[in-house]
Structure 1
Amino acid sequence: RDFNERCAQCSEVNWGITDGGRFYCRSCHNVTERTREVVNTDFITNTRVQTISKGLRKKEKTDGGCEWYVCEGFQLVLKKQAEALEALGVCPQMKDEVLCNFWRRYLQKTKQAYCGRPAGETVKAVSVCDSSTDVDSEAERPSVLHMLSLSESEGDLQTDCSFASSVSRVSESTSVYSGSVDGSLYLTKNQKENLRMTMPMTLSFCYMALLWLREPMTLSDLLRFAVEGHIPYLNVFQYFPERMKLYGLDLKIFCVESWPVYEEVHSKMLELAAFLELPRFPDITDSCFLHPDMLCMKYLMEANLPDELHNWTCRVVKKISIGETDFLTLVPGNKSTRDVKYDVLAAAVIVVVLKLLFLLDDHYEWLLSDFAEERNKNNKEG
């Protein structure tokens, strides 16, 4: 109430207070460095932001770990991925100023945090009673256990069942089949309309932040770094601290057994940008790394092709108007604009130039290939 300055980002005067005592804008979620000492504890309870860190504060007495939520696990993954990208030379603003704001907006839009009542508070996790006559508990166990990894043996599943039946009482906020509080609920609840978070979507978040900053890194570069292990993805469970126990259904959520797919990561990025209602991204101009002229030069050098081909690629880009700013810049939710894959577009331009120069038409090159194969066969026989 006493802080009446306008927000530097949206010029609104609509402030709230975070758990750390800092003022944040309720309109654009910008967090300022200004803090306030609050004397009235009732005021803190009524106006503080519901953050995702609340689960880590409650210690479990059984194994010494902490109660944590799935969204907290993904927040940890995003933090580690952003730090890895920063170590690779990405702008330091990506983690704190861009990716962090995207993540906050996602949590608010999905009602997991930064809202009056987080979505998880209205639904109770699966609880198990020790009574063998409890029909509801017996009916729920197979459906939850069925979501365990298919590689587990039948004996393992029986062990889990016996463990579940031996538990006398489980807290309503704790999941028996996972280290996280809402692991079982997360897999059973249908959240397709809210873009339920997955491991490939962590890369979508990173790529969206890179695109916002116009960093010199394409989506194929990002996926290559993930495959090579420079960015945490495949064995991300290694980065979880000891207090965040990861087992059971958590492994279905955070442990992946295949590499990320380009189309999936790209499409999820577009869906996320539209879902978060982000404004038009910064313009992709001819001096930007993601412009076809710049990427064509890069790929020509990597393929060890003649530098003279770059003049032809520039002519093709200009002729078909794919180097225009409006064509290349992402406008979330605008169906009239094209969803440009910058690296694929540049590679396609190079292929078109090679076809033009060598008069290839997808038929003549096959004739040349067959002729060369026959000639090589005759040389081996001779």
Structure 2
Amino acid sequence: MTRPVYVAGVGLHRYQRSSEASFVTLGLAAVRAALADAGAEWSDVQGVYTGTTRLGMAVSRPMLRHLGATGVAMTQVENASASSSSAFRLACMEVSSGEADIVLAMGVDKPGPSSRAESRTGLTGLADGHVVPFTRFAMLANEYMHRHGATPEQVAAVAVKNHRNGARNPYAHHQKERDLAEVLDAEPVAGTLTKWQCCPVGEGASAVVVASEDALARLGGDPSRAVRVRASAQRSERLYGDGDFDVEITRETTAEALHRAAVRPADLDVIELHDAFAIEELRYVEAMGLCADGQAAGRLADGEFDVGGRCAVSPSGGLIAMGHPIGPTGTGQIAEVARQLRGEAGDRQQPGARLGLAHMVGVGAVCVVHVLEAAE
């Protein structure tokens, strides 16, 4: 970062099942909440990056014109599940460079038709139509259990933890605690993965106001609530030999972000990660360096990844309980980490949280990681 960048305000519309509400209603609720949280006016915003995947072209203007026609620069960002993570990264880069002092990063989506460009390349694969995300992660879960001696109960324990966290989050799609028996006995999806070990894909919105140090002073808010963006890193897939690409791209991108932030995995107090399926949390915390390969299930059982443990992983409920409306998910993670670092997360608050990390992967494959720090 050329100059310091801060999260000045955050806002969300609850993640939920598809409703009759328009994306305009969802998005404006999140943006207005973020502006109010930052003590900013719409006219203060000098740039907007909107992450979305299923709403079509030119999403920002028909939504944000209701706040006023200010001529602000607007850019749509599509990067699969990492869309608004990438939008946040671009907003940080714009503020860091000095191009702007206050930039809005947001995400909004509603269920609807979507397709991967890969299906239109004219090339076919042997697994086309047979291996979809949940079957792929069921196979990865089976491989992990076989390699490390983990059990289906240990994988399902990720979902138990995250549903418990989601039950304490008013913005979560699922807000009910579920015990291990309920998770294991739920409708099977693929392999050992059941319904409650897979994320719901619904609708919602999230927004983050990114500001420079000068802008924070002009806004006149409480400086102790400003959360600094220590580092931002983004990578795409390369050849990894025998390693799973989601794990390896997570390993490399996280290492890059932590190096830029000059912190170690052990320094992290809070992590929001891409747990679309329960097995992902175990694999990613190992790739991030919180523990050695094969140790995550045991560390989870010991409470290390609970709120109040060594590092709270997905205190929002993660994608499994908070939900995964896709476009908003990345900036929603930033909102949760910011609240944790401010000490404003209520009864899911990680005590003494000072450093947090937000991680998203997206088909393609891409990975975006941010490291955030509480104010001094």
Normalised by the length of structure 1, the TM-score is 0.28
Higher helix share: 1
Q: Whose radius of gyration is greater, 1 or 2?
A: 1
Q: Whose strand fraction is larger, Structure 1's or Structure 2's? A: 2
TM-score (norm 2): 0.28
